[in-house]
Structure 1
Amino acid sequence: MKQFVQSNIQASFLLLSEQEKADFECIKAHYKILWHHGMSMEIIIDGIPVILEKEQIVCIGPECRVSIAGDSTWSSLVFNREFYCLELHDAEVACSGFLFYGTSYPLILKLQAEDTTKFTGMYQVMLDEFDNRDHIQGEMLRMLLKRFIITCTRLGRQQYFENGIEDDPYNEIRAYRMLVETNFRTQHQVSFYAVSLHKSPKTIAHLFNRYHKTTPLKVIHDRLIQEARSLLYYTDKSAKEITHELGFEEPAHFSRFFKKCLGISPLDFRTQARLRKPGENW
């Protein structure tokens, strides 16, 4: 483990590997960039099983709960908002609403050989910098972390927007997703987010259809389902409590919505998810 702490502002930045699996799973309220090196590994993010293949990277937001099933080889960058706030520095890294909070299913980056070489070099420089103990170490680590995130963002844009995307529509899609992240518990209609962005719902729908191959309404529904799965998997809250927390009027409305999306009732999902073994389908 490599760790930098700036106690006066409670800033924290760590580099962890498979030897620190327990630490990685226990650390809360931190962004996590997990880089898998082995052949195949399953992780659980907010109750959702995710399979990582060799040389893949997944970005995990600070509100997410994550656990790693089995043994494999991996590296991770773990930092909190006090060390580097992505929202405050959005103009620098342009990743909120894409790498983080971008989809209900975690965004996975696939590294080719040249990408692996590039990321390995950046990671090694960070490792070396953790051994320096001078007054500029914190700023140097922030700069190196920013470079790593920017490289992830560029790679992600290449992989997830087939025909490329200009900065303006890319930023509009990110802005929509960040608004959903902030308001999905109370606002379930596209019109609310369109008004907030000074756009019409039709314009927002066209933007997503052209660049993202999904719909603005599905973004809202996917985020609700992600949160519902997390609450059902990690807590013992009743269906009534979850209904209220996610902004549905009646438990029956929530149950119908959940079953329509996943083909299973909320309580059956809870039972099956908790009995599931690593590698099994839901």
Structure 2
Amino acid sequence: MYTLVSSQTGHMAFRVSRFDEVTSLQEQKGYNYYNILLVTKGSGQLFEYTFQENALLALGLYQPFQVKGAVEGILINFHPDFFCIYKHEEEVACNGVLFNNIYAPPLMQLTASEMSALLNIVKQIEAELSRPALAQYEVVMAFLKIFLINASRMKVERQEGLVPVGNEPFILQSLKDAIERDYRKEHSPGYYAGLLNITPKALNKLSKTHFNRTLGGLIAERIMTEAKRELYMTVKPVKRIAFELGFSDEFYFSRFFKNNAEVSPVVYRETLVYRSVE
């Protein structure tokens, strides 16, 4: 295990470690950092998704997960204060691709050459962390950027290769466009079903078939993605964020947030940003 800590707090900023079938990845709680798993051997299951060796799994902040199966590989953790995917959206573009993509599985199968390319970057990170050196923080961050850019490119290429067939993809694209346009004011699955002239039951079935999520789940995840962004990127009061996201009651928003993130909006905000040690 190689760990880079914040010089101000001593908290973990970046970590890379290796795991094997003896290591338990089955009860990982949600923490205030991003998780990337590179599965080099074995097969398993993440949520409702199955994967084989040469898989990349990407999980966001405070996202609890279970990996079932005998697997080996590498686990990368990084705190958003070390590398904020929102601040680096334009240069890295992993937000909405590797992370916070409510319409795509949080994993992808890699080719052997793709896995080798990512592992080579990890080896360079490990070599850098194995010895104290000038500007180590910046060098590791640069390698992480390269890793995320390459992984994002791989996933984008897969998404661009998908070919819509029939009417269902058209309906689903219309659903995605509608949620993106109206999620700040419309939270009801029935609203989107009516907008698309389809019954809520039928639209929910399509959503579960293609996105592995209920229609209500898709709407909730989109609201949560924006709520987390606002809490991290701004100093707006929680009450204002709640109002801007279509909640008339701050306490209802807090309950909604906690049900989806396991922590309250206030705790989420407080634990994301490193504070100077007194």
Range class of TM-score, shorter chain: 0.5 to 0.7
Task: From the superposition, tell whether residues 22 and 110 of structure 1 become closer, same or farther in structure 2 (CA, over 3 Å).
Answer: closer
Show the counterpart of 2:5.
5
- Identity across aligned pairs (percent)? 18
Q: Say whether residues 1:81 and 2:80 are aligned partners.
A: yes
SS in 2 for 1:133: coil
Q: Distance in 1 between matches of 2:252 and 2:53?
A: 37
- 8 Å CA contact 2:31–2:61 kept in 1: the answer is yes
Cα RMSD for the two superposed structures: 4.1
CA displacement at 1:24 relative to structure 2 = 8.7
CA displacement at 1:110 relative to structure 2 = 2.0
Show the counterpart of 1:168.
none
Task: From the superposition, tell whether residues 184 and 15 of structure 1 become closer, same or farther in structure 2 (CA, over 3 Å).
Answer: farther
Q: Distance in 2 between matches of 1:24 and 1:125?
A: 29
Which structure 2 segments of 5+ residues have no match? 164-172, 197-208, 223-250, 258-278
Deviations 1:174-215 (A, max 9, x none): xx89x96xx96974279x9xxxxxxxx99xxxxxxxxxxx99
SS in 2 for 1:78: strand
CA displacement at 1:7 relative to structure 2 = 3.3
SS in 1 for 2:71: coil
Show the counterpart of 1:52.
51
- 8 Å CA contact 1:186–1:246 kept in 2: the answer is no
Show the counterpart of 1:92.
91
Show the counterpart of 1:131.
130
- The 5 A counterparts of 1:136-147 are 136-147=135-146
Show the counterpart of 1:223.
218
- 8 Å CA contact 2:35–2:58 kept in 1: the answer is yes
- The 5 A counterparts of 1:237-276 are 245-246=255-256
Task: From the superposition, tell whether residues 140 and 185 of structure 1 become closer, same or farther in structure 2 (CA, over 3 Å).
Answer: same
Show the counterpart of 1:16.
17
Show the counterpart of 1:36.
39
Show the counterpart of 1:107.
106
CA displacement at 1:42 relative to structure 2 = 1.9
SS in 2 for 1:35: strand
Q: Say whether residues 1:72 and 2:71 are aligned partners.
A: yes
SS in 1 for 2:155: helix
Q: Distance in 2 between matches of 1:80 and 1:243?
A: 25
Task: From the superposition, tell whether residues 13 and 41 of structure 1 become closer, same or farther in structure 2 (CA, over 3 Å).
Answer: same
Which structure 1 segments of 5+ residues have no match? 165-172, 193-200, 203-213, 228-240, 248-282
CA displacement at 1:103 relative to structure 2 = 2.1
- 8 Å CA contact 2:121–2:147 kept in 1: the answer is yes
- 8 Å CA contact 1:87–1:96 kept in 2: the answer is yes
Task: From the superposition, tell whether residues 24 and 151 of structure 1 become closer, same or farther in structure 2 (CA, over 3 Å).
Answer: farther
Task: From the superposition, tell whether residues 133 and 224 of structure 1 become closer, same or farther in structure 2 (CA, over 3 Å).
Answer: same
Task: From the superposition, tell whether residues 244 and 86 of structure 1 become closer, same or farther in structure 2 (CA, over 3 Å).
Answer: closer
Q: Distance in 2 between matches of 1:123 and 1:129?
A: 10
- 8 Å CA contact 2:30–2:65 kept in 1: the answer is no
Show the counterpart of 2:274.
none
- 8 Å CA contact 2:43–2:71 kept in 1: the answer is yes
Which amino acid in the other structure matches residue 7 of structure 1? S
Q: Distance in 2 between matches of 1:219 and 1:91?
A: 30
- Superposition TM-score, scaled by structure 1 size: 0.57
Task: From the superposition, tell whether residues 225 and 128 of structure 1 become closer, same or farther in structure 2 (CA, over 3 Å).
Answer: same
Deviations 1:30-78 (A, max 9, x none): 11111111231123xxxx3332211010211113111222431021211
SS in 2 for 1:91: helix
CA displacement at 1:109 relative to structure 2 = 2.2
- Superposition TM-score, scaled by structure 2 size: 0.58
Task: From the superposition, tell whether residues 109 and 7 of structure 1 become closer, same or farther in structure 2 (CA, over 3 Å).
Answer: same
Which amino acid in the other structure matches residue 60 of structure 2? G
